[in-house]
Amino acid sequence: MIIRIMGEGQFDVENVDQDLLQKYDNQVEDAVNAGNEEAARTALKALHEYVTANGKAVADDYLGSSDVVIPFVDATLAEIAELLTGEGFIPDPA
């Protein structure tokens, strides 16, 4: 799965702990659903840090699309909510 973090690039997260990735995603979604902008930003920052630290940066010349788009770390609650689906940013596992 390729995740694009707006303003930072794309990361391949195929080989990361998917349960932990989903946990961070769920924390963002829960904070947005609660209308808590501070908690949403904190959770979004944790998700960013996990993806950038554990995902593999995709080459700049990669022309494929991203499977998931995550907003920049300083996004507002409205900007975060705009990119969420009914399952957070990352679809829940089947």
Among the listed residues 5, 1, 4, 17, the one whose alpha carbon sits nearest the alpha carbon of residue 75: 5
List pLDDT tens digits, range 78-89. Answer: 999 999 988 889
The terminus-to-terminus CA distance of the chain in angstroms comes to 15
- Residue with token string 């920049």: 72
pLDDT-derived band at 12, boundaries 50, 70, 90: very high
Under 8 Å between Cβ of 70 and 51:
yes
Beta strand 56-57 with 9-12 is: antiparallel
Q: Is the Cβ–Cβ distance between 4 and 47 less than 8 Å?
A: no
What is the pTM for the complete model shown?
Answer: 0.91
pLDDT bracket for residue 2 (50, 70, 90): very high
Q: Is the pLDDT of residue 94 over 70?
A: no
